[in-house]
């Protein structure tokens, strides 16, 4: 794979062999939205004219998503393009720049809790509760449980 003008390999993987943190974040947001919609990688790939393997690579950050593909993703997933960059930690951008300038690995980061399968399943289950009053009580219960846990710590 050839190096780009910025010292990174084409495809989103830098000289350290690790994906660019920005590409990982954008891919994670693609996965988050796809999963919230209950869409498989195969279905998303079909909608974009891609294989599910290519979707997997995008979601892992192994392959960089180009501007036109990002636009297509925003239309298929029914979100603005800016959605893919929401909640990006400032360290991601700094880490990407550092990785481009240095051989050493960039700063490590914790996975976004919103991208965890457990979180996605919880959100899906929450929205399956059809009664708005019950859903609101469930929400209040979750907040009360979180509050009582933080008071014990």
pLDDT at 15 (0 to 100): 62
On the question of pLDDT at 2 being above 50, the answer is no
Give the model confidence (pLDDT) of 99-130 as tens digits. Answer: 544 444 444 445 667 667 788 788 888 888 89
CATH of the domain at 25: 1.10.260.40
Which residue range(s) make up the domain with 152? 116-153
pLDDT at 4 (0 to 100): 47
pLDDT above 70 coverage of the chain, percent:
71
72/76 Cα distance (integer angstroms)? 6
Q: Both 78 and 47 in a single domain?
A: yes
Q: Both 98 and 147 in a single domain?
A: no
Q: Both 80 and 153 in a single domain?
A: no
Q: What does the DSSP 8-state code read for residue 11? A: T
Q: Both 109 and 120 in a single domain?
A: no
Q: Both 53 and 79 in a single domain?
A: yes
Q: Both 41 and 17 in a single domain?
A: yes
Beta carbons within 8 Å of 127's beta carbon, 6+ residues apart: 135
Residue 16's closest CA among 102, 111, 95?
102
SS3 137: helix
Give the model confidence (pLDDT) of 64-96 as tens digits. Answer: 999 999 999 999 999 999 989 888 877 655 555
Indicate the pTM of the whole model.
0.59
User: Angle at CA 29, nearest 5°, toward 14 and 138?
Assistant: 145
* CA dihedral for 49, 54, 59, 65, sign (positive or negative): negative
**Total domains in the fold of the chain:** 2
pLDDT at 127 (0 to 100): 84
Length of the chain: 153
Q: What phi, psi does 29 have (nearest 5°)? A: -70, -35
H/E run at residue 55: helix 52-60
Q: Both 87 and 151 in a single domain?
A: no
Q: Both 111 and 48 in a single domain?
A: yes
* CA dihedral for 40, 45, 46, 52, sign (positive or negative): negative
Q: Both 50 and 106 in a single domain?
A: yes
* CA dihedral for 52, 53, 56, 62, sign (positive or negative): negative
Q: Both 46 and 58 in a single domain?
A: yes
Q: What is the mean pLDDT of the chain?
A: 79
Q: Both 96 and 32 in a single domain?
A: yes
């Amino acid at each position: 794979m050839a190096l780009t003008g910025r010292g990174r390999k084409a495809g989103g993987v830098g000289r350290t062999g690790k994906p660019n943190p920005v590409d990982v974040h954008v891919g994670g947001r693609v996965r988050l939205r796809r999963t919230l919609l209950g869409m498989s990688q195969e279905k998303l790939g079909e909608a974009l004219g891609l294989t599910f393997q290519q979707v997997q690579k995008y979601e892992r950050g192994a392959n960089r998503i180009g501007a036109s593909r990002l636009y297509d993703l925003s239309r298929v997933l029914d979100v603005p393009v800016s959605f893919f960059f929401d909640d990006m930690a400032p360290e991601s951008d700094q880490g990407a720049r550092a990785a481009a300038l240095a051989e050493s690995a960039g700063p490590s980061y914790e996975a976004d809790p919103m991208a965890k399968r457990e979180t996605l399943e919880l959100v899906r289950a929450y929205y399956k509760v059809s009664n708005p009053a019950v859903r609101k009580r469930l929400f209040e219960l979750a907040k009360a449980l979180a509050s009582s846990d933080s008071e014990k710590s």
